Structure 1
């Protein structure tokens, strides 16, 4: 199984001569690849491959067999800079060419092919790289060229061109080209093609990174690829690379020397977070002679540390705080077939260059392989990392979400350190919402975990705080603006910026416990209005999609929670995104809560479809099937997950859950679930249960057990649907209790009149009915809306129940 998929990018065809091996020598900002090959006359050709159009363009030919070291073409494709080796040391001695320079660097006019100018003729290797203007900028008459020398300096040439007759483009000045030193005494430098940034290290500058830079050879990264020189790793060169991400991540990856032969150590400095992590990996097969240095790959959302034949470590750049978000693969899982065991580099995001073969590959993380890995994983750390990688990196698709939901339904009891339902909901919401706006990723939760104390077998990790970089960029835009925003978040304790549900839970409980007469305040009306707006977002759903009977009733408690969540999330975003505007934040919040309900509905729909359930869950005359019991168990876990994070549920969820519980559970278990709050009594389900079930002894016991557990307000609504003496007895007792409470409150002051119309001489009952009649006569009737409930109803119910207990007939 392979997590990483590669596709060969450079496919050269239709060359005019029978070509020998092709080698990539550079990748420009626009993604175009410069390559070289030898013709049948041993001429040296330079070509350009366009990844978008899949077309090749011949740039230049040398009528000699040259070893091209570095090559770059400007954005207008009018100038070509080439660095090559003229002779080896042995060739110079044999030809008595000691005074001839070993290396030559040329600037060539190629539109059309015209003049050639020598930039460098030296004995040290030189790498060349044109700077590219921002996309959309008009064609310029000026080109800038960087030259990086093995003599540990970088300089910049400013080249002006003019257009002459017949569309010729020539260099303007015939004299020496203007140039300026960029840096001296280098030990390491890297060119970032996509963002046109130069990173370098010089010993005389203070370094806040704990990296030894003494006695190291110069190493140039992404300044072209000399496939001959890169075959062997320089023993004293610094294996270090800088990666940036679209979200403003800045990482320094460094492989460190280890004194233990069967261990590899590497560090990732998350400069945008203010700390670094140093990993020590115990190798499974310590074959020292086969080991190469760790290669670092840029996958935008992840940085991959790769050691062929040993491990592949995907590190989450956005959320590197918890180790469980890093996907560490070994053995067959870490195998990447197309990549060799020699030196590789990552010149662009999601690309890999095979420096030995001179081939470049597109890299992607396979969702199919991730799902397979998720299914086969035995450890929570692997499951959680694969789940987040699938949702946040690969991106949520309908098919991917379906596969994950199916996996969750099968593995609810196998995850011990995290709740897969909570992680699925929160990570999916984060993935859907964060692209809408910059900085939203710092305010919305991305996980349900506050910490994680697990371990990854074979890997130890040490975390150290480092100084935040100081940016001197004026009018920063794009990457620099996002990086600065990340640094500001770290300064102001980033974990506290993420929305949390503590206040929401407390407020919801307070509102839920308030008396009915207090629920007409303006604040409460606003909360319920928020809930209506959320539900209106879901009205466009196709009724055919509603395989589960959700969103078909009102649920006051859930609407209260929805409205509160809208209100508090809106306040949270307004504190940190004032510049966005209230209207936009309102839309974001409504979308967030609506997407939350949509995800829970989506889970229910997939589970419903998988177990082939129908509307029979609301037929109480039969017991539930094994499939219904499985769905009931999943719904119980969804409820547990929602309660744990104080998340609202779709209206109708509790009715559906209770209906399945009545069908699937024995009575004592059903009542225990009701008493402990796992099952919630709803008016829709109780009313249907009272109406549809006949009055057998078993059903009477079930109905009476349900009736006695109903809240008073709900009981008043559903008592009338059960025409049975047991229910009448219960209603009568409730009526007596209410009247006697009024009597105890001193609301009855006149003497109770004698009653002579009672047909049965039963003195305790006679006294009770006289007392109740007196209270009724004072206008303290507690059930005006239910005229059939009065003292006469109480009297008849008591007599009927007494006769039933004595086994006598009541006429």
Structure 2
């Protein structure tokens, strides 16, 4: 220590810990006035050699405040003979110093004494700047005509830097004083600047998201306004929040936190708004919390900043915290929420933010089974399946997240209580780079997808549904065509990709049986999803796309089976439920209801179900429903007659009057092809009479057709 009682403005140490840069205030205004030191510069910036001590060089002696920041272009570089230092001046410019050092005996390092240090101007005339220490990026804003311009400089390991991004902004930035973010914290200056400029910060995400967050001034008391510019999507959202318990003396500016997949807008004691960066188009995927739900105990009534992803700095106490979303708290919120918007946002966050674990899936499935009738604006089964598939598959291949659906909703017209949102289209950023990797490559991919109408890139089942219906109606005529043979070959590949079900999984008696309709749907989904991906992922290769598609459909079937397994375990059903001589229990009826909702969800998304699902569903229906309700379900397509279940029903039930009525009603509703297979298992006069009547009817129809043909021939003669 060579000075005492210094007011340090900024300091930074180089990567090798051999050099220290420090900027400090030599005299206050009062000291100048009393000691007549007007000729002495107020601020001094020094470069100090640590080994040996006290070799000092003056970099700046000025009356304007200076911040210092060493660059760390390569992590763990210990043998470099050159360090680079950024100097950020209150006079609105940033320059870079190149510092060459020489190693002496006993590991001492000294600066080369060759005159002035080489330096280069990085940016001039800026009004706001933010340093990204993890990725070595400098974001800054310069006023340009009527609009401001956001730019970014990327610093590279090869000792150079380049401007890489430019985005025009429609916000007015106060240019009376420079505002700096992540260049250290000076309480006196920062509080003074904060009162005169925008609270603005830029966040990036691993998936190529680029957001600019800023709080705006409202003319209405107790109203908070802030905007999130989703630059990678081409629009911004401005939120107006009316505070429930407004206490003006406690109100502070909104703090923004970077959680990678989410950006959080936080006003202590008032609200916590988690905004989805990847899918910000619908508000139902952003979670708005108030009251105790929005409380962050360690960050109450303090000034905070987010210097990098998942980190928060308490500026008053100087404490750095790691911040993340709690999965247990999120599940509690999911269970107690009364609004659909909160339920959907919490469910979406739980499925896409956290790594999939069996315990998390089990708790979500349990919540779904208990809340099937409470969610009105979305289907929780559909959301669980689609979001889970999206999360599992999109990690495999780049850009797959832009092609697979991430939600079961096409739009959402609801509102978040207490929040007004306005959306505006903004111009996309311009990237100036060649062959950049990592974040910049992903950002460029996001921008390209926006240019080419992103919503149309996501796979949709509309065409699949139409083709499935057409083939189902024409199955007898086209069954032997090469096209259909290829479809069923696809289905066989999917079934071969299914996980081997262990003894516990076989707790659910799903039969691996022939199911023409479901295999047709499986094969069609494979074919159409493959065509969709081939149009946009040609560079991946056909073999890889084939694997992705088969995994996608197989995972879909496994997810349905996972739901069934958890429901089966919860209601403690045994596997031998196909005994039709007794009525079903309350637990079986509950499972039947859940299976009906799974079927409804599958029909809504036109997705296939595991082999044997309809057999199990029909078996539970026979045990649980009164006859008139059972027949109503069959007539309306909720229950589908399968060969396995009908054959067992005809063979196992004795011919009491009630059972005869049940069997006759079922047999009368059988499709002709299925009826010819299973009627032989019911040796009863009613069945024999029915077979005879159908046979006579068939003969009459053939005779009638023959007479028509003879009549037509006579007429032509």
TM-score by length of 1: 0.82
Task: Determine the C-alpha separation between the residues in 1 that align with 2:616 and 2:51.
Answer: 73
| Residues 1:435 and 2:395 aligned together | yes
| Residues 1:684 and 2:644 aligned together | yes
| 1:70 paired residue number | 10
Task: Determine the C-alpha separation between the residues in 2 that align with 1:617 and 1:230.
Answer: 71
**CA offsets 1:328-366 (integer angstroms, 9 cap, x no match):** 001111000001313110001000000000010000000
Task: Determine the C-alpha separation between the residues in 1 that align with 2:221 and 2:356.
Answer: 42
Contact 1:231 1:343 in 2 (8 A): no
Task: Determine the C-alpha separation between the residues in 2 that align with 1:682 and 1:465.
Answer: 53
Q: Report which of the two structures shows the higher radius of gyration computed on alpha carbons.
A: 1
Q: Displacement, 1:117?
A: 1.8
**CA offsets 1:528-581 (integer angstroms, 9 cap, x no match):** 111111111124332332221125322221111111111110110010011111
Q: Displacement, 1:62?
A: 5.3
| Residues 1:450 and 2:410 aligned together | yes
Task: Determine the C-alpha separation between the residues in 1 that align with 2:2 and 2:496.
Answer: 70
Task: Determine the C-alpha separation between the residues in 2 that align with 1:528 and 1:315.
Answer: 43
Q: Displacement, 1:747?
A: 9.2
| 2:465 paired residue number | 505
| 2:22 paired residue number | 82
| 2:69 paired residue number | 129
Task: Determine the C-alpha separation between the residues in 2 that align with 1:154 and 1:63.
Answer: 27
3-state SS of paired residue (2:675): helix
| Residues 1:250 and 2:210 aligned together | yes
| Residues 1:593 and 2:553 aligned together | yes
3-state SS of paired residue (1:360): strand
| Residues 1:195 and 2:155 aligned together | no
Task: Determine the C-alpha separation between the residues in 2 that align with 1:407 and 1:237.
Answer: 46
Q: Displacement, 1:149?
A: 1.4
Residues 617-628 of structure 1 aligned to structure 2 (within 5 Å): 617-628=577-588
Q: Displacement, 1:151?
A: 1.8
| Residues 1:180 and 2:120 aligned together | yes
**CA offsets 1:10-40 (integer angstroms, 9 cap, x no match):** xxxxxxxxxxxxxxxxxxxxxxxxxxxxxxx
Q: Give the gaps of 5 or more residues in structure 1.
A: 1-60, 751-811
Contact 2:618 2:639 in 1 (8 A): yes
3-state SS of paired residue (2:423): strand
Contact 1:443 1:499 in 2 (8 A): yes
Which of 462, 465, 481 does residue 521 from structure 1 map onto?
481
Contact 1:340 1:354 in 2 (8 A): no
Contact 2:306 2:312 in 1 (8 A): yes
| Residues 1:473 and 2:413 aligned together | no
Q: Displacement, 1:195?
A: 1.7
**CA offsets 1:563-601 (integer angstroms, 9 cap, x no match):** 111111011001001111111111111111111111111
| 1:164 paired residue number | 104
Which of 395, 398, 411 does residue 371 from structure 2 map onto?
411
| Residues 1:312 and 2:272 aligned together | yes
Q: Displacement, 1:394?
A: 2.4
Query: Which is worse superposed, 260-269 or 209-218?
Result: 209-218
Cα RMSD of the aligned pairs, angstroms, is 2.0
| 1:714 paired residue number | 674
Contact 2:174 2:198 in 1 (8 A): no
Task: Determine the C-alpha separation between the residues in 2 that align with 1:358 and 1:749.
Answer: 97
| Residues 1:117 and 2:60 aligned together | no
Task: Determine the C-alpha separation between the residues in 1 that align with 2:13 and 2:410.
Answer: 50
Which of 552, 555, 566 does residue 512 from structure 2 map onto?
552
Which of 462, 470, 475 does residue 422 from structure 2 map onto?
462
3-state SS of paired residue (2:298): coil
| Residues 1:393 and 2:333 aligned together | no
Task: Determine the C-alpha separation between the residues in 2 that align with 1:135 and 1:574.
Answer: 39
| Residues 1:149 and 2:89 aligned together | yes
| 1:578 paired residue number | 538
Change (3 A) 1:647 1:363: same
* Number of equivalences: 690
Task: Determine the C-alpha separation between the residues in 2 that align with 1:581 and 1:170.
Answer: 55
Residues 273-672 of structure 1 aligned to structure 2 (within 5 Å): 273-672=233-632
Change (3 A) 1:420 1:233: farther
Q: Displacement, 1:170?
A: 2.4
Task: Determine the C-alpha separation between the residues in 2 that align with 1:366 and 1:626.
Answer: 36
**CA offsets 1:109-146 (integer angstroms, 9 cap, x no match):** 23564632221222322111112214587853322211
Task: Determine the C-alpha separation between the residues in 2 that align with 1:303 and 1:143.
Answer: 34
Contact 1:426 1:445 in 2 (8 A): yes
Task: Determine the C-alpha separation between the residues in 2 that align with 1:703 and 1:640.
Answer: 26
Which of 684, 688, 702 does residue 724 from structure 1 map onto?
684
Q: Displacement, 1:75?
A: 2.4
**CA offsets 1:232-258 (integer angstroms, 9 cap, x no match):** 762112211011111111111110000
Contact 1:327 1:382 in 2 (8 A): yes
| 1:29 paired residue number | none
Task: Determine the C-alpha separation between the residues in 2 that align with 1:98 and 1:514.
Answer: 96
TM-score by length of 2: 0.93
Contact 1:686 1:718 in 2 (8 A): yes
Q: Displacement, 1:107?
A: 1.7
Change (3 A) 1:749 1:672: closer
Query: Which is worse superposed, 117-126 or 342-351?
Result: 117-126
Change (3 A) 1:135 1:724: farther
Change (3 A) 1:138 1:442: farther
Task: Determine the C-alpha separation between the residues in 1 that align with 2:516 and 2:503.
Answer: 23
3-state SS of paired residue (2:317): coil
Q: Displacement, 1:435?
A: 1.2
Q: Displacement, 1:743?
A: 2.5
